[in-house]
Each structure stands twice: as C-alpha cells, then as structure tokens.
Amino acid sequence: MRWFFVFFFVSGFCSVLYELVWLRLAMAQFGVTSALVSIVLSMFMAGLGLGSWLSGYLIRRHGAQIKFPALRLYALIELLIGVSAILVPYELLWGRNLLERVTLSSSGTYYLASGVWVALTLVPWCACMGATIPVAMLAIRNSFRQESQRSFSFLYLANVLGAVAGATLPLLLIELNGFHGTLRVGAILNGVLAASAMALTFSQPAEAGTASSAAASVATPTAGPVGSRTLLALLFTTGLTSMGMEVVWIRQFTPYVGTVVYAFASILALYLLATFAGSRVYRVWSRTHQQEEKLVWMVLGLCALFPLMTADPHLHMARSWRLVIGIAPFSGILGFVTPMLVDRWSGGDPDHAGRAYAVNVLGCIVGPLLSGFLLLPLLSERWVLVLLALPWLLLGLYPGWSSGLEETQPRAKAPRRSRAQARAVWQRLIPYAVVVAAVVLVFTSQGYEDLFNPHVVMRDNTATIIATGQNMQKRLLVNGVGITFLTPITKMMAHMPLAFLRHPPQNALVVCFGMGTTYRSLLSWKIPTTAVELVPSVPKMFWYYHADAPELLKSPLSHVVIDDGRRYLERTSQQYDVITIDPPPPVEAAGSSMLYSKEFYAVIKPRLRPDGILQQWLPFGDSVVQASVARALKESFPYVRVFHSLGGWGFHFIASSQPLPNWTTAELVLHMPASAVADMMEWGPESTPERQYSNVMSRELTLDEMIAEEPHAPALVDDRPVNEYYAIRRRWLKPERWYLLW
C-alpha cells in the first residue's frame, strides 16, 4: 500500500504541474482571456471526469477479461500521461497554426474553434489521468482486499498531497528550466512511476493475474452504492461550491497578495494543504465512525463565509493569516467530506468510485463558470459567497435530511434518557446559532471597495473594477490592485512615437486601455485610433477620468476592442503607424511577460507599416528584467532608442525596422498638430512643449547600457518569463550563480 501512496503522490504532483504549464502554453497560443482560461481548465477537469467514469465502466464490463495484473495497466496509463507532456505543446501549436490559416468572423467563433481544439488536445490525455484512480482501486482490491473499502480516500489523500507540491515546486522548475523543460521533468517522473509500477507487478505475483480471480473480483464487489442519489448530489455540490469559491477568493485576496504567480500559487497550495489535512482526519475518523454529524454541513456553510471577515480591509491582520483563516477551514472540511462521500457511495468498487468522482468533477467544471460568468458580473463577492454557502446552511436546518447509512447500519445503543434529551436540545439549537453567526458575518464585514470614498465599482467576468479619487488624484484599481493614475507619462506614450514618424500618421493602436489617457492622446492627433483592452469594464470607466470621454467614444475615429492584445494582433490584418504597449503593473504580474517577449515582438512587426514605430513601456524591474527586456527588443528590431520617463520613473522604448530620426525637441513639436500639443501640455509638468520633450530626451540611454547591468541575462521569451519567475535569484542565489543553473 505504501507503493500506491508514492505513486499517487507523484501522480498528483505531475497532474498539477501539467495543468499549470498547459494553461500557460494555451494562453500564449490562443490569448490571455477569461473565456480561454475557463475553456482550458474546464477541458482539463472534463478529461479527469470522463476518464474516471469511463475506466470504472470498462472495469465493470470487461474487468473479467483482464489476464494480467491491474497494476500493469496502471503503469501503461502513467506512461501515456508522460507522453502527453511532450506532445501537448506541439498539439497546441498546431492548433494555433491551423486557426491562423482559417478566417474566423468574430471573437465568439474564434473561442469556439480554439475551445474545440483545446478539447481535442487535452481531454484524451486528462482522461488518462482520471482513469488512474479506478484502475488503482482495482489493483488494491485484487491484492489488498481488506484495504479496498476505503481505497478511494487513501488514493485521494496521496493525490492531494502531491498536488500541494505540484502547486509550488513547478514555479522553481519553470524559473530554471522554462515551461518546456519543466514538462520534461514531469515526463521523466511519469516514466519512472510507470517503470516502478511495472516492476512491482513482477515482484508481487500475489495480485490477481488470472482471468478467474479478476472475474471474481469484478463480479463480487465488496459493496454496492450505499444510500441514495443524495450522495451524488452532495458530491456535485461540493465540487461546484469549492471551485466557484476559488474564483471569488482570487478577487477578494488579490489586494493583499498581489498579482504575481506566487500569490496565486499560495492560495492554491493552501487550499490543497487544508484539503489534505481534512482527508487525513477522515481517514483516522472512519476507522471508528460511519456517520457524520449533520452539523458538519452547516459548519461547512459557515466556514464558506470566513473570507468575508478576513478580506475586510478594516481588519488588521497579517496577509498570511488572512489566507489561512479565510480559506483553510472550509477547505479542510471539504477534504473530509469529499472522500467520505465517495467511499460511502463506492464501497471500494472502481466503477462506483469512477462515477462518483466524475460527478464531483462535473461540479468542479460548473462552479467556476457559474461564479465567474453569471454570478460575479451581477453580484458582489459577498453575495456570491452567500449563495454558494446557502445550500450547506439549509441542509443543517432541514430536520429529516441525512447523508448517511442509517438504513444499512445497526442502530447504536440508545443513550440514557437525560443525555438523549440534552443532546436533542443542543441539536436543535446549534444550527440556529450557526445561522446567526453566518448572518453576523454577512452584515458586519465590508468589502475592499469600502476603503475608497468616492468610488464607482463595476464587475464583469474578468475582474472587479474600482474607480476612485477626485481631480488629479483619480486612480484605477483592478481586483484591488492599483493599475494607473492620472499622469503625463501615459500621454508621452502616445505623443513621442507619433512625433518620431517621418510622415503624417494614418492610424494608431494602443494595447491596454487603463484610464484611457494614452487613447485620448492618440485621438488628439485626429487619426483613427484602436484600443484593445482585456477587461470589459475598464473602458466603461473612461467617463470617470475624462470629461470628454463620451464624446470621444462616439467619434468615428474611435474603436475600442475587448480582447487580448496579443491575440488581436495575431488575428487582424490591419497595419498601424504606431503601436503603443502599456502592460499593467507590476512588471512581475502573472501573464505580463507575453507583452514583453520576443514572440510578441514577432507578432507586432508585421502589423507595423515599414517605417512604423512600437512604443513599449517598462516600469522599473530588477536589473535582470530590464536587461532581459532590452535584449529581447535588440534581437527583434534593428533600431531601438530608450528614454527614462518623466520624473525618471520607468522606460520608454521606441523601436522600428527603419532608422529613427535624431530630431531636436523643437522639430518633434513641429510634427504635432495643435490639438496634440494642447493635450500633451494639459498636465505639465513643464511650461513649454519643447521643455516637456527635453525632460525625456535628455534622459536617453542605450540598450547596451541596460544589458551591461546583467550581461548574461537572456532575452525574454515565452518559454522563460524571467520577470514573472524570480524567487530563486532574488531570495537564494545571486544572478551570476543563477545563470550557471540555467
């Protein structure tokens, strides 16, 4: 049995590793959008559920025909999973190349086509992952029949513990080896796992290896499904609420943990670690108990509301404790009840376990879609949590409800009358006390937006947007993280590249709308201007920051597109005189590297006219990030100039395939229409446009100077986003030793 624990620990580690990397590779190929992320994660979970159900069904129908140890079949499945690590990146790339050759009429059509390809790519391989539990349960029943009654929870425990490691360690592997190198590590682990399981079948001949013993095992399961379909309904609901709440947690805790990959990994790791603890408690509890108290379900509902308290900005608490208290209690109880329900339904039978686990996975698919695309755009995070917690609170109040085994288990000896009466009183009172506590949590806690006065809040399927401040102190926050403020820096992102053109500009594109300042400045040149923004609600806040926003949006020159900027550039055939990129801060934000990489610049170059100009904005990062971005631009464009921005904060890169003119500040101003000059000087800080330009032009430096700060830093590429994955070099190794590990 220890071997099975090791196998499923490694399997859990590899499955989360693949999920993280495949998601990122799919984003690079098909776009960084909420819809695409949901498609990838849903297809991953759908594959798990399909594999779990189908393998259990096939074991029931054809298990008697298996003439070799079931563990050998498990080894073959793990080998196939290892092969998937190598093939999936190529399959995703083939899908992107295929879609590039097909003209698709709309974003919806593109999502449909990319979703179909992602499904065809991921579902078969993830089905192999889902098949491992029923097959391993068959192997356990053949060799360790006395352990088979609770075999699902045993494997589930090991799998979740491996998933905890899979949520954290791959981040270090990606920093050292890149995404493809990390997948190779996973493939090697799956190969070792398969070889070990295969070797074990030759060293342990006691496992059922004949058709007759296998037939006996399949024909006489240790137990059938126990109880009613209520158990399956509970499994579906646990999956739905847990995954639905994860979407809410991301929005609630992002203001405290940030948008870096390590923050999201910490939430996932904490959820999985608490789930493991709950599963371990269940394993101990189930040795002496068979029926849980009904109060468990009400407490699950109460704990689902804890994030309302710990995400309250007025509560002074360390960031780590906000996560632990807000997430761990709910996840721990969930880790207790999920394997309990599957064990109870399956009784150790692989077919029944496969069906039960598939139902749970189905809930895991529906939950994020329901929460992210239906509930959060309509309701606040508070009321979405309330809706998701409500089923568990109501279960505890329903007097005749039970999830358990009363009809199949002998009644325990009745306690003495006085004790029974006291217990009955408590059983009636405690549920109401839990409901009161839940109501108090809901109506006494406050959301992050309550910190700001005045403020306007909008929600959509991507994020929660807060517009706040007055006059020049206005700010934009996305999921509680400050994105931008009113500053002349964002005006220079438009005016500098347009003024550097040798001819009057015909059009321009800005990727990342923000407050709309750069977009507004581009329109001041009286040219057709397109803005591409990922979050639908962000352009809807344009009016809050600029009084002329409604008029500008109605202009025939104005065009706002809700899409991933990189995906838009890949799909459009339009060419532009200027493309200006303003990635959201911080520079370490998850996914931001795809707006700094060589692959992104390769997408941009065909969308620029022959003498067109790219303006790339880079907030300050560490020396490795600055050198890496500079090298990527140097290797992508033959002509690049770089300037410190106004106030010396951040860098403007001006890149082109044609030589850039070395004009004076006066000559730059001569290239500007009067409306553009007025826009540039609207907020100063200088008194004349020439001095405004001089403030930036006098701070020019060369790419070689930036690269010299870290001469061994590689060019930033999709496979190795050094700006996002930095823990080793910043915390444990100096850059020069970090390069040696590369």
The three state secondary structure string of 47-99 is HHHHHHHHHHHHHHHHHHHCCCCHHHHHHHHHHHHHHHHHHHHHHHHHHHHHH
215 in the same domain as 266: no
326 in the same domain as 180: no
Report the distance separating Cα 696 and Cα 425, nearest Å.
76
CATH number, domain containing residue 556 = 3.40.50.150
pLDDT, position 304: 95
444 in the same domain as 490: no
Within 10 angstroms of residue 334's Cβ, the number of other Cβ atoms is 22
**Coil, helix or strand at residue 531:** strand
- Which regions of the chain are under pLDDT 70? 63, 104-107, 145-149, 204-228, 399-428, 735-742
What residues contact residue 63 under an 8 Å CB cut-off, 6+ apart? Answer: 138, 214, 215, 217, 218, 350
Look up residue 672 and give its two tokens: 């500007």
In a domain? residue 318 = yes
In a domain? residue 367 = yes
Report the distance separating Cα 612 and Cα 626, nearest Å.
24
**Coil, helix or strand at residue 398:** coil
Report the distance separating Cα 614 and Cα 257, nearest Å.
33
CATH number, domain containing residue 253 = 1.20.1250
168 in the same domain as 58: yes
Look up residue 658 and give its two tokens: 């044609």
DSSP characters over 565-632: HHHHHHH----EEEEEE-PPSPTT-TTGGGGTSHHHHHHHGGGEEEEEEEEEEE----HHHHHHHHHH
In a domain? residue 474 = no
DSSP characters over 203-271: H-TTS--SHHHHHHHHHS-S----S-THHHHHHHHHHHHHHHHHHHHHHHHHHHH-SSHHHHHHHHHHH
In a domain? residue 415 = no
Tell me how many degrees the CA angle 326-332-334 measures, rounded to the nearest 5: 105
**Domain end: 186, 220, 254, which one?**
220
pLDDT, position 425: 61
Which pairing describes strands 639-644 and 529-533: parallel, antiparallel, or unpaired? unpaired
Q: What is the 8-class DSSP label of residue 373?
A: I
In the chain, % helix, strand, coil (3-state, to 5) comes to 65, 10, 25
429 in the same domain as 530: no
Using CA atoms in the order 614, 620, 624, 625, what is the torsion angle rounded to 10 degrees? -40
pLDDT, position 32: 80
Enumerate the H helices of 462-593 as residue ranges.
488-499, 517-523, 537-540, 542-545, 549-554, 565-571
Report the distance separating Cα 278 and Cα 526, nearest Å.
62
Report the distance separating Cα 593 and Cα 28, nearest Å.
10
In a domain? residue 478 = no
In a domain? residue 228 = no
pLDDT, position 616: 96
586 in the same domain as 630: yes
Report the distance separating Cα 96 and Cα 86, nearest Å.
17
Report the distance separating Cα 396 and Cα 337, nearest Å.
15
Angle between helix 319-346 and helix 230-257 axes, rounded to 10 deg: 170
* Contact between 173 and 185 (Cβ < 8 Å): yes
Which structural domain range is residue 639 located in? 484-741
Q: Which residues of 203-221 are buried (b: 16+ CB within 10 A; e: fewer)?
A: eeeebbbeeeebeebbeeb
254 in the same domain as 214: no
Q: Which residues of 259-284 are buried (b: 16+ CB within 10 A; e: fewer)?
A: bbbbbbbbbbbbbbbbbbbbbbebbe
pLDDT, position 408: 41
Beta bridge partners of 615: 580, 654
**Domain end: 189, 220, 251, which one?**
220
In a domain? residue 64 = yes
In a domain? residue 417 = no
Report the distance separating Cα 715 and Cα 706, nearest Å.
12
pLDDT tens digit string along 710-735?
998 999 999 999 999 999 988 877 76
Reference 655, options 693, 600, 709, 708; nearest CA is 600
Domain total for the chain? 3
First vs last C-alpha separation in the chain: 38
Per this entry, what is the length of the chain?
742
pLDDT, position 99: 84
pLDDT, position 430: 80
What's the pTM value of the predicted model, to 2 decimals? 0.88
Report the distance separating Cα 260 and Cα 248, nearest Å.
17
605 in the same domain as 488: yes
369 in the same domain as 430: yes
pLDDT, position 426: 65
Which pairing describes strands 558-562 and 529-533: parallel, antiparallel, or unpaired? parallel
pLDDT, position 736: 63
278 in the same domain as 171: no
Within 10 angstroms of residue 620's Cβ, the number of other Cβ atoms is 14
CATH number, domain containing residue 190 = 1.20.1250.20
